[in-house]
Chains A and B, each alone.
Chain A
Amino acid sequence: MPSWIQQSASRGILTSRYPKDAAADEEVSPTGRPPLPVAGVASLPAARDSCPVGAISDTAVDQGKCIRCARCVAAGLTFTGPVEAATRSRDDLLRISSGPVPSPAAPPPLARLGRSLHLFLVDVGSCNACNLEVLALANPYYDVQRLGLFFTNSPRHADVLLVVGVPTPEMAEPLRRAYEALPGPKAVVAVGACPISGGAFAGAPGLVPGLAEIVPVDVFVPGCPPSPTAILDAILKLNGRDRAARGGP
């Protein structure tokens, strides 16, 4: 009779070697990467009208608005941007389309906490996909515990708020109180297009068009939803243990 132990052993080690090695292709679906213009920034004006959320301007692709619907592919963009697309400033999300984002001079906000961070997920109005991508970090393929990252059950025990969804007026106050409950030093990660810019819901009546209006945001992860690898990179940017800081290519 087979047992859990045999079953487990028969599957071998599933866990990715990210961030030591680059993320393998099967971990990141095509739309898990930011879209870039194939023919350079000069081709953007022609592609502008293909975007349903207005992420494409004449000079840049605003990754914070992009919902990865792939309509711009016919207009000359491809999903070939870096998996590690998280940035520490909102403006840098516009620069991804024109080359590597310069590393910020300021030290990582939670470097003082060393290797281990405790994470708390807050949903302020998501479609549930980002929630599930964040929870996927705990599955054996990503297994973030190996990197000293743990999910907690209370904001009082957490160092990092992972915020998903476009903030609804009903969730603004609970979010503020969850943020205040975190002991310092603390950080907030805006996970996905919704908390960054409203994403697909930008312009809907009554919604808050950006998380930064409610709480300070330390890292922005573009994507709809971002792949677990992209979220992991964003968390590691908080304590300076991401692949770029380790000198990865």
Chain B
Amino acid sequence: MRRPSWRVEPSPAVGGEATARALAYVPDDGRFALYNDYAAGVSVLTLTAPSPDEGGPAALWRADTDRTRPHALAPATEVDGYGIFTFPYGPISMGVPEAGRFDVRTYGERVLNLVPVGGFKSRRIRETVVGRPVADAALLVERMAGNFSASHVAAFLEAAESASATEVPTAERWVRGLAQELQRIYNHVHVIARVAEAASQNVGLAQTHALAEEVLRVQGAFFGHRWLFGALLPGGPARRLDAADRHRLAERLGHLAEEFERLWLLFLESRTFIDRIQGTCPVSRAEAVGGGAVGPTLRASGVAWDDRLRIPVAPYNDLFVPLPHETGGDALARLIIRAEEVRASFLILEQMLDRWATASTGAEPAGSPVAPGRGIGRVEAPSGDLVYDVRVTAGKVDALQLRTPSRANWTVFAAGMRDAVFTDFHFAFESFGFVFAETDG
């Protein structure tokens, strides 16, 4: 039995242990604070945030930020000199197919400083969900980031359910786990495809892109929606997961796993591909921990931390979850982690489908919780640790605050891009798996 290695505390501890922890994140309204101490193997979430003078890094403390207006997502360092200018890249460009901007300080070739700018596509989800029933709010939450929808919904429902002390059937958690692992495979394969595209590995791109499409089709066939929208909510598209379906799903996943294995070995043998990403956008262990990096980025920089292993809930407390980690910290290390995690997810899915019969199947999905309260939901999304803080009264959402993996990783991306050249940009950017949509919310 694993012990929980993260916990929630009512307020920040003063002195002693608190000084050993790195303050990792405080949201706009300061409703919570997240401290990580990976050396001691703990992550502490406090429900009252410290004031700025109590030691929050200024860059992460942005109580006055209007998220609906363009704002810097990472601290800028002043660089000035002969011929240095700011080159704005975005918010409309095909290279980054999302609305976001990068302010690059440069004299022409070298990136002296890079500041990601978000706020172009805030759909006001945090504000709009207030006052809506949990199930209706979840429709907006899954659109926080379409390609991470299962993780967002799982974390949100986890928070809302714990806020109202609703008992969740184990079978429901298993379905959520299944959806999340499928989506993790899609996202990691998609990231590999995007990096292959940047490296002009055209055959590799086509084959990987096809594999990503096949995962979407599996999601569509078994959850009724290619992006799993509505699939985890009461009354969503039918989840056809009887014995025959599980058999067919296992068979299709087996083919995809073999296919992925062949592709990844070919990528590893391609010197031009490896050369291009080796040493690109390096993030040291100290930078990753200090900058609050999460997920594959953190694991690629030498910190073996995964919420699936640290939070002992079904189905992960019952399965073998491999924990790959690398020490390179560059785009190559991040890609290797992602490839290893694709393998790991196939393994987890295989275990789940094998043992599905023993997980109490057939239970009805939980209804909307009713009692008032505040809850935290924390899951490992494809790009890293995702935290939801939800307040619920009479089955309706009172307030919602979250820390997304994309938001957490901008700082180290910006730091890693310093002294890179323009052509490194896409390899670096894609290797993190950023989604502007969830950053802006």
Selected from A3, A5, A136, A206, the residue in CB contact (under 8 A) with B124 is: A206
Closest to B227 in A: A129
- Complex: how many Å from CA A70 to CA B236? 5
Please give, as numbers and ranges, the residues of chain B lying within 8 Å of A204 by CB-CB distance: 123-125, 127-128
Contact present for A138 and B209 (CB under 8 Å): yes
Of B14-22, B135-143, B298-306, the one contacting chain A is: B135-143
Contact present for A128 and B437 (CB under 8 Å): yes
Contact present for A153 and B95 (CB under 8 Å): yes
Report A129-172 CB contacts with B as 1/0, cut-off 8 Å.
Answer: 11111111011110000000001111100000000011011110
- Complex: how many Å from CA A5 to CA B68? 48
Selected from B127, B144, B227, the residue in CB contact (under 8 A) with A225 is: B227
Report A62-84 CB contacts with B as 1/0, cut-off 8 Å.
Answer: 00000111110110000000000
Nearest Cβ in chain A — how far from B115, in angstroms? 17
Contact present for A52 and B136 (CB under 8 Å): yes
- Whether A30 is near chain B, meaning CB under 8 Å from some CB there, is yes
Contact present for B139 and A128 (CB under 8 Å): no
Contact present for B94 and A174 (CB under 8 Å): no
**Known A-B contacts A129-B146, A200-B139; A124 and B99 likewise in contact (beta carbons under 8 Å):** yes
- Complex: how many Å from CA A154 to CA B204? 25
Selected from B121, B229, B265, the residue in CB contact (under 8 A) with A31 is: B229
Nearest Cβ in chain B — how far from A170, in angstroms? 5
Please give, as numbers and ranges, the residues of chain A lying within 8 Å of B70 by CB-CB distance: 170
Please give, as numbers and ranges, the residues of chain B lying within 8 Å of A71 by CB-CB distance: 230, 235-236
26 chain-A/chain-B pairs, Cβ below 8 angstroms: A5-B203, A31-B220, A31-B225, A32-B226, A52-B139, A70-B230, A70-B235, A121-B94, A123-B121, A126-B437, A127-B123, A128-B146, A128-B147, A132-B190, A154-B94, A168-B120, A170-B68, A170-B122, A171-B121, A174-B92, A174-B99, A174-B120, A200-B143, A205-B128, A206-B124, A225-B226
* Known contacts A124-B99, A139-B209, A201-B128, then 10 further A-B pairs from the complex at CB < 8 Å, ordered by chain A residue: A4-B266, A31-B237, A32-B220, A68-B229, A69-B230, A122-B92, A124-B121, A140-B209, A171-B121, A204-B124
Residues of A in contact with B (beta carbons under 8 Å apart): 1-5, 7-8, 11, 14, 26-32, 52, 67-71, 73-74, 120-136, 138-141, 151-155, 165-166, 168-171, 174-175, 178, 200-201, 203-207, 224-225, 227
Residues of B in contact with A (beta carbons under 8 Å apart): 68-70, 91-95, 97-99, 119-125, 127-128, 136, 139-140, 143-147, 149, 190, 203-204, 206-207, 209-210, 212-213, 216-217, 219-221, 224-227, 229-230, 233, 235-238, 262-263, 265-266, 269, 435-437
